[in-house]
Amino acid sequence: MRALLWLLLLVLSQEERLSQPHMTVKFEIPGEEGACNISLICSVENAGLDVTYTWISWEDGADTAHEGAILRAFWRPGDKAVSYTCRASNPVSNITSRPIQAGSFCAGTRVPETVPESLQGLRVTTPFSSGENVESRT
């Protein structure tokens, strides 16, 4: 029993506390007026293999969990605003990102000149008419 406890403590001591999650937003506008496909990607620097990612969506006061580092969504004008938060976890820590409203990226085809504080630090991949994607960091 002591050996098992010692092994568990050794494994946990090798774990590192997670840094703040990085969120990347990729979107494409398929042709419908203002509608778009959104991919939200969550990552943590120096993450080990035991890091798990969960996206939590907030709509009308209810939350829904989506497992995995990538969340795909579709948004069109008139849809309710949904906020998304990424949670990264490992055996020694659990950290959550700021919430973002992914639909705000679909209103236009470029990153706005001034970025709201709640969106600062996001990586945004913007589609252009040539079909190429250009990544910018806000």
2 part of a folded domain = no
At CA 43, angle to CA 55 and CA 105, rounded to 5? 65
Tell me the residue range of the domain where 118 lies: 16-137
pLDDT at residue 66, as a whole number: 92
1 part of a folded domain = no
For the ranges 11-20, 52-61, 92-101, the lowest mean pLDDT is seen at: 11-20
Are the beta carbons of 87 and 67 closer than 8 angstroms? no
β-bridge pairing 22-28 and 123-127: parallel
DSSP code, position 103:
G
125 part of a folded domain = yes
Query: What pLDDT band is residue 19 in, cutting at 50, 70 and 90?
Result: confident
Evaluate if residue 30 carries a pLDDT over 60. yes
Average pLDDT, whole number, for the chain? 73
57 part of a folded domain = yes
Number of domains in the chain: 1
Are the beta carbons of 21 and 42 closer than 8 angstroms? yes
Q: Give the residue, 33 or 14, on which the prediction is more confident.
A: 33
pTM equals 0.67
CATH number for position 45: 2.60.40.10
Query: What pLDDT band is residue 40 in, cutting at 50, 70 and 90?
Result: very high
Sequence-distant (6+) residues with CB within 8 A of 123 are 22, 23, 24, 25, 135, 136, 137, 138
Q: What is the pLDDT of residues 71-95, one digit of tens each?
A: 998 888 888 878 899 999 998 899 9
% of the chain with per-residue pLDDT over 90: 19
